[in-house]
Structure 1
């Protein structure tokens, strides 16, 4: 069994994400290590290996709660998260929240919830307990940044939730969505990567798609739903 390892005080340099070149187009894919401004690097074991979600770092000043129960004291050593869930992968995202894919495939999130990025149906209610997002959707991966979270589901769909303001891929503008909502795209996605102003994904058809600002389609238009990135063969 592996444990997710998060660091804060050593402040090591965060490794870059793996990227895949698709006919000259670079699309961010799954991460080997993930970091945010509060938690530093973290191992992301894959396959069927379960992860014991041990965490440590700062919890004050707007950072994510360590224990999954209440906002507790800072810790320089690993402290267990209060949950019976076991995880395939886990990530600490910017803006002070954490999500992971459980061995049951569900999306578990906890921490800050200003715009519903935990996926539990509420907005502005921080949640310190570890609980699954609404909808009982099973995922293969999750990614998040700032106020939104996205994931690729086991049926090949992509789901996003939180606030973009127009980057959730569902055609809506400036509307927080506190539950996982399917991205409007028929081809489906193998993986999704979340940025501050846009999101990209690798389609099941092997094509890179993006939505939001700077979607890579050769225009300056903000795209509310996925568009094919230009330059692919």
Structure 2
């Protein structure tokens, strides 16, 4: 629906044309527009520049709206011009007057519309398909609006407005030569966010790749998501799907089954899908939830019910999330959220009692975890278990314990939280595939479950053991499918340690084997961020470069090769050096 506004225009935001008969026309880009071409919102303005009433010429007719005689022109970088009638795309009979439009002295009429009102889906119009192809590559485009008057009357044109779709308005300077600001991995895919706001992805089936499923090409090197170039401020990856938050507070996802989506584009092939009903997002929590400006939590489904709708992904607001959410933990098909008041809520799959409700019935919406005697300060979710650190320093776990992931000394599943013996002064917890690690107040790290360590540790550690030989307090722990890596607060270039399965070098040891002791990874610099996929690991170093090691047969290491490496290799990103 096209809306009519009457308000003063900001001259610095408007490209004005020369006045004709006392009326000048302009064009403005709405600052909150999305990065995709069809989401670009424009405002055509008509301003009376005189001290007397003026009339915006249009054909006076009871059946034709004056906006039907308004044209939008788009000129791309190669000189092609595409023209579209604006007002003919929707019924605005009740909003617009018929015939000429009268403007009071100094009055400005603002007509807001977006490209989605005028650019059809690529499959409906070959010309639009060509425009989509041109706009997918981040380039500067030129837009202007033309108002056509009565037969024989002169045409009144607005000024031309240049705008870069998918690119920042100016080059963002590198901060201390750091190129990569964030990195995330999941499954066989990894993505990095560059300082200029452009996400780059690589792997077996990277988000944004042309093709669907097995037909999607394996990446021989990282490639950008051009439609989100320059606008991304945060990213998360889960199961080969990347979700990104933009500077406007919107979220987009690409990859996996979403690359087959025809919603809003008419053809499959890597187009980002916008998360509907999500505005004002301030932080991503993984790839399926976001916190919004009022502190509440909104989540959407990538794989399970409800499936992506024809309109794309739909976010559901958790109304009981007030007074705000401080942490979200994503497990295998279930989610837990920690509120500011220390209350813990979980929802989703529950076949192993991982929701902590005392039953094994799945819950589509947030359900309070019962049986916790105090406020929760940290929560972690594994594939089918969860753990929480409480205010008194105790550690409680529940769910599946086949490999000792609950730290209770046995393999019995629990559907209600149980305290882990011997664990006190716990301040933080993390969990992965049948394994758990917890931080104590003194900085020590204790782990249990399917650790796959060499003696003297058993491969399956059903009670907590202290991880020795890490030199410094641990800042971050990440889990692959059967390996674990930790980043410490000091140690210079040697501050990353890995253990567990190393069949493809994912634990950083040159000796390929199913079990590996704690190994110091030979990075060229100190790591400042860490992430892990199924059988590979990646890190950002202090110089802003990204490095990966482990399985690379599907392009997971971000080079032009498809081979594995136990030695970290530099990801081929457009970074200096």
The answer as to 2:567 corresponding to 1:225 is yes
Three-state SS of the structure 1 residue aligned to 2:421 is coil
Distance 1:63 1:128, change over 3 A: closer
Equivalent residues of 1:65, 1:128 under 8 A apart: yes
Larger Rg over CA atoms? 2
Residues 1-233 of structure 1 aligned to structure 2 (within 5 Å) = 21-22=193-194, 24-25=199-200, 33-37=328-332, 41=336, 45=378, 52-59=394-401, 62-66=402-406, 68-71=407-410, 73-94=412-433, 96-113=434-451, 115-116=452-453, 121-124=456-459, 126-135=460-469, 137=471, 138-155=473-490, 156=492, 157-165=495-503, 166-174=505-513, 176-178=515-517, 180-212=518-550, 213=552, 214-233=556-575
Change (3 A) 1:112 1:174: closer
Once the two structures are TM-superposed, the CA of residue 204 in structure 1 deviates from its matched residue by: 1.9
* Gap change, CA 1:186 and 1:231, over 3 Å in 2: closer
Indicate how the Cα distance of structure 1 residues 58 and 176 shifts in structure 2: closer, same or farther if over 3 A, else same. closer
Deviation, structure 1 residue 169: 2.0
Deviation (angstroms), 1:39:
7.6
- Report the TM-score, using the length of structure 1 for normalisation: 0.73
Offset at residue 38 of structure 1 (A): 8.9
The answer to whether the 8 A contact 2:483-2:535 is kept is no
Aligned to 1:3: none
Q: Secondary structure at the match of 2:398?
A: strand
Instruction: State the Cα distance separating 1:223 from its structure 2 match.
Output: 1.9
Q: Distance in 1 between matches of 2:194 and 2:456?
A: 36
**How far, CA to CA, are the matches of 2:470 and 2:549 in structure 1?**
25
* Higher relative contact order (Cα pairs below 8 Å, separated by 6+ residues): 1
Structure 2 CA distance for aligned equivalents of residues 111 and 130 of structure 1: 8
Q: Judge conservation of contact 1:187–1:204 (CA < 8 Å) in 2.
A: yes
Change (3 A) 1:219 1:78: same
* Unpaired segments ≥5 residues, structure 1: 1-15
Partner of 2:50: none
| SS of aligned partner of 2:409 | coil
Deviation at 1:208, TM superposition (A): 1.4
Paired residues, what number?
A: 206
Q: Distance in 2 between matches of 1:151 and 1:65?
A: 18
* CA deviation string 1:22-81 (max 9, x = no partner): 2533586996544444985475849xx97642222233xx35443x23216433322211
What's the TM-score, normalizing by structure 2?
0.32
Deviation at 1:215, TM superposition (A): 0.3
Distance 2:437 2:334 in 1: 13
Contact map agreement 1:170 1:184 (CA 8 A) in 2: no
d(CA) in 1 for partners of 2:449, 2:502: 18
Indicate conservation of the 8 Å contact 1:120/1:133, yes or no.
Answer: no
Give the whole-Å Cα distance in 2 for the aligned partners of 1:56 and 1:132.
21
Aligned partners of 1:39 and 1:135: how far apart in 2? 34
The change in CA–CA distance for 1:55 and 1:159 in structure 2 (over 3 A counts) is: same
Q: Distance in 2 between matches of 1:63 and 1:35?
A: 20
Partners of 2:408 and 2:414 lie apart in 1 by 15
Q: Distance in 2 between matches of 1:170 and 1:72?
A: 30
- Pairwise CA distance, 1:123: 4.3
| Greater helix proportion | 2
TM-align CA RMSD: 3.3
Distance of 2:439 and 2:574 partners within structure 1: 31
